[in-house]
Amino acid sequence: MHEFATVYKPYNYQIISAKGRLPVTTTTEPIIVHSIINGEKVLTEKRIPRENPSNGKEIVGYAPFNTKEETVAAIEAAYEAFGKWKWVPVEERIERMRRAIEKIKSAIPELSRLLSREHGKPLYDSEGEFAVSLMWMEFACDNAKEVLQQTVKEHEKGKTIITYDPIGVVSAITPWNYPISLSTIKIAPALLAGNTMVLKPSPFAPLTVSKVAEMISSEFPPGVLNLVHGEAEVGVELTSNPKVAKIAFTGGTKTAKSIMKAASETIKKLTLELGGNDAAIILKSFDVNDERAMRRLVISNFLTAGQICMIAKRVYVHRSIYDQFVEKYIEAANKWIRVGNPFNPNVTIGPVNNAGQVKYVQSLVDDAESRGAEVIKLGTIIDPEIFDQGNFMQPTLVLGCDYNDPIVVEEQFGPTVPILTFDDEEQVIALHNESIYGLTSSVWGNEEDAVRIARRIEAGTTMINTAAVQGLDVRFPFGGVKQSGVGREYGVEGILSYTETHVINIPTVLDLPYIPE
């Protein structure tokens, strides 16, 4: 049994320790993945190389580069398959998904290593991503029948039947930071609800998700789950084709605005999980000597090298405990942060996924320093011989920023975090809520005080004394407010978001007296 199984239930994610692992050997031979259109693997003339973020000279593998015509073919296949798939009983859909889950479970050792090679995240983090992905897929299977069953309401005027019907063809466009979980979060509920899908992963992490999609697709009829890769013209077709009924997108707010415009032409349904500039609010009641809590906070800032939409990206600390807090935070960070090869069992943070992201994050840090902020390097580089070969960044703490500095108001999406002070609750609530984003947030301190403040925060999720994936529970809905998104994923709502509510009225009183003869 794989290590993650010890934390597999009850559908909540936990950080798996990297301590005590044996080094894992991994092949350096490039792999080739394929598109899947109508159940068939499709080779393309042009391919997209994916480099190892730990070593830019190594090609991990090649993904297809699909054309607009191939994308149209995938949509057509999904459209044709929907006509039959929507009538398949939910019990059969669940059974097929459970078989796919078992296939994925059996391949986790191989898939986790591939994910670490192409993404850069440490092996424990890759295994953790598969853990949360499978938790959600099993939750969806466990609950789909009950959630999707029709309800019948009898009343004085007759009877009303409410059904939850599939929408049609779903375009799923997913990002590179958590490619498995942010794909399965869409695949499982969409297919269980009777929809068909065309999935497009990011070119920055296309390999492992393609393997997973192939495993799932093989358990379903041809055309139910299709897979394409590519760039702008593929994305445009997936968001504008009239046969696409819904778009499920996780990514940047700027891209989402273009998607919304494209979707408006045919009024497509949308689920958009977008960026966030999630704040952690540290109350004066927070115990700075609580080492476990401080470690949770450090992890909430730097897990996956800070490349998580729901990670805590700015920290506000009550002025009365600021100096002690910073001292203890640095101490905790230096204990936990160990940068290096993702396959080194002692490493907690690997490279940043791509060179463009390194450049962007470093520009924010440099800008803050130029404005007079203090930049403190955190942790230890334990594989210095490879540090300059890849997209490595040593995590940094930034002190003395202004509330309106770019590193505070923009989403860094990398291994740096600013810490700022506040004086009272009204001030910190205002500082939090003035952001255009509202994905997640966290409040740390006495529970009663923390919950009181949480109720006034504008966010889709607020966690108390924990943050980011450490507090994620797939049983409950997840999504953002304001420019952090539209709709919800996970939970019952995440299943129902792939359905249309259909009301069938059967009145017994047919003569309505208020309508004139």
Q: What is the pLDDT of residues 122-166, one digit of tens each?
A: 999 999 999 999 999 999 999 999 999 999 999 988 999 999 999
Check residue 156 and give its pLDDT: 87
> What are the structure tokens assigned to 197, written together?
């899908």
Task: Evaluate whether residue 27 is within a structural domain.
Answer: no
In DSSP terms, 165 is beta-bridged to: 500
- Assess whether 152 and 120 both reside in one domain: yes
Check residue 515 and give its pLDDT: 66
Residue 162 main-chain phi, psi, to 5 deg: -115, 120
Distance CA(229)–CA(5), nearest Å, equals 32
**Average predicted confidence (pLDDT) for the chain:** 93
**Enclosing domain of residue 295:** 279-471
Task: Evaluate whether residue 25 is within a structural domain.
Answer: no
User: Residues 255-278: pLDDT tens digits?
Assistant: 999 999 999 999 999 999 999 999
Mean predicted confidence (pLDDT) in 299-325: 98
Task: Evaluate whether residue 68 is within a structural domain.
Answer: yes
- Assess whether 159 and 270 both reside in one domain: yes
Mean predicted confidence (pLDDT) in 67-91: 98
- Residue 83: give its domain's CATH number: 3.40.605.10
- Per-residue pLDDT band at 116 (split at 50, 70, 90): very high
- Assess whether 119 and 185 both reside in one domain: yes
- Per-residue pLDDT band at 453 (split at 50, 70, 90): very high
Residue 69 has pLDDT above 80, yes or no: yes
Among the listed residues 118, 138, 273, 411, the single catalytic one is 273
Check residue 157 and give its pLDDT: 84
- Per-residue pLDDT band at 513 (split at 50, 70, 90): low
Residue 328 has pLDDT above 80, yes or no: yes
Check residue 516 and give its pLDDT: 67
- Compute the radius of gyration of the chain from its Cα atoms: 24
Assign 509 to helix, strand or coil. Answer: coil
- Per-residue pLDDT band at 16 (split at 50, 70, 90): very low
- Assess whether 486 and 453 both reside in one domain: no
Task: Evaluate whether residue 31 is within a structural domain.
Answer: no
Residue 19 has pLDDT above 50, yes or no: no
- Assess whether 157 and 249 both reside in one domain: yes
Contact (CB, 8 A) for 450 and 465: yes
Residue 237 annotated among the catalytic residues of the structure: no
- Residue 375: give its domain's CATH number: 3.40.309.10
Residue 2 has pLDDT above 50, yes or no: no
- Assess whether 42 and 170 both reside in one domain: yes
Residue 184 has pLDDT above 90, yes or no: yes
- Assess whether 389 and 486 both reside in one domain: no
Non-local CB neighbours of 138 within 8 Å, separated by 6+ positions: 11, 101
Non-local CB neighbours of 100 within 8 Å, separated by 6+ positions: 137, 215, 216, 218, 219, 220
Check residue 24 and give its pLDDT: 40
Check residue 14 and give its pLDDT: 46
Mean predicted confidence (pLDDT) in 187-216: 98
- Per-residue pLDDT band at 342 (split at 50, 70, 90): very high
Task: Evaluate whether residue 405 is within a structural domain.
Answer: yes
Distance CA(474)–CA(299), nearest Å, equals 19
* Range from 23-27, 390-394, 452-456 carrying the lowest mean pLDDT: 23-27
Residue 389 falls in which region: left (phi positive, over 0), alpha (psi -120 to 50) or beta: alpha
Please state the domain count of the chain. Answer: 2
Q: How far is CA 200 from CA 249, 268, 275, 326, 394, in A?
A: 10, 17, 19, 42, 32
Residue 43 has pLDDT above 90, yes or no: no
Check residue 29 and give its pLDDT: 86
Mean predicted confidence (pLDDT) in 300-315: 97
- Assess whether 219 and 297 both reside in one domain: no
Q: 10 Å Cβ neighbour count for 75?
A: 23
- Assess whether 122 and 187 both reside in one domain: yes
User: Residues 275-292: pLDDT tens digits?
Assistant: 999 999 999 999 999 999
- Assess whether 263 and 305 both reside in one domain: no
- Assess whether 412 and 322 both reside in one domain: yes
- Assess whether 64 and 86 both reside in one domain: yes
- Per-residue pLDDT band at 511 (split at 50, 70, 90): low
Task: Evaluate whether residue 292 is within a structural domain.
Answer: yes
Residue 21 has pLDDT above 80, yes or no: no
Mean predicted confidence (pLDDT) in 17-21: 40
Among the listed residues 118, 309, 401, 489, the single catalytic one is 309
Residue 309 annotated among the catalytic residues of the structure: yes
Percent of the chain with pLDDT over 70: 93
Mean predicted confidence (pLDDT) in 394-407: 98
Task: Evaluate whether residue 264 is within a structural domain.
Answer: yes
Q: What is the widest separation between alpha-carbon atoms in the chain?
A: 90
Beta strand pairing status for 269-273 and 151-155? unpaired
Residue 7 has pLDDT above 70, yes or no: no
Task: Evaluate whether residue 3 is within a structural domain.
Answer: no
Q: How far is CA 499 from CA 94, 164, 466, 505, in A?
A: 16, 6, 33, 19
- Per-residue pLDDT band at 360 (split at 50, 70, 90): very high
CA–CA–CA angle 139, 141, 145 (5° rounding): 115
Mean predicted confidence (pLDDT) in 469-476: 95
Residue 365 has pLDDT above 50, yes or no: yes
